[in-house]
Copies of this chain bind each other. A is one copy, B any other.
Amino acid sequence: MPKPLKHIFVCIQSRPENHPRGSCAAKGGIDVFQAFMQQFDSRKLYDRFALVNTGCLGPCDLGPSVLIYPEGVMYRGIKKTDVATIIEEHLLGGKPVERLMMPKEVWG
């Protein structure tokens, strides 16, 4: 397994209902992770990119959060309909999707 060009981390943290921090799972993070898996399968991305689910990435109130290294770009409020955009523009095109990024005061 060569080191991937980019490694995609998708928060699927869950918390009890009515927990004050909320969670990415409650906001659709699991759907987002599954959408990434489907795209990785259908576009055969596993040879160049890696994908993994994670626990809490920090900014729960702005989730679902998706983090991409080595560049350290974090996306906020991702919906499953954003996944193809991130793959096309960022992973394949090399240009992070500015409009979906965390604000700089949260992740800067």
Contact = CB atoms under 8 A, between A and B. Distances in A.
Contact of A7 (B2, B72, B106): B72
State which size class the interface on A falls in. 20 to 34
Instruction: Say what secondary structure dominates the interface of chain A.
Output: loop
Query: How many subunits of this chain does the assembly comprise?
Result: 2
Contact of A55 (B52, B58, B72, B108): B52
Interface string A43-57: 000000010111111
Interface in A31-70: 50, 52-59, 67, 69-70
A107 B59 CA distance: 30
A9 interface: yes
A28 B52 CA distance: 19
Given A50-B58, A69-B69, A69-B70, 6 more contacts: A7-B67, A9-B52, A52-B54, A52-B57, A53-B54, A69-B72
Interface of A: 1-3, 7, 9, 50, 52-59, 67, 69-72, 106-108
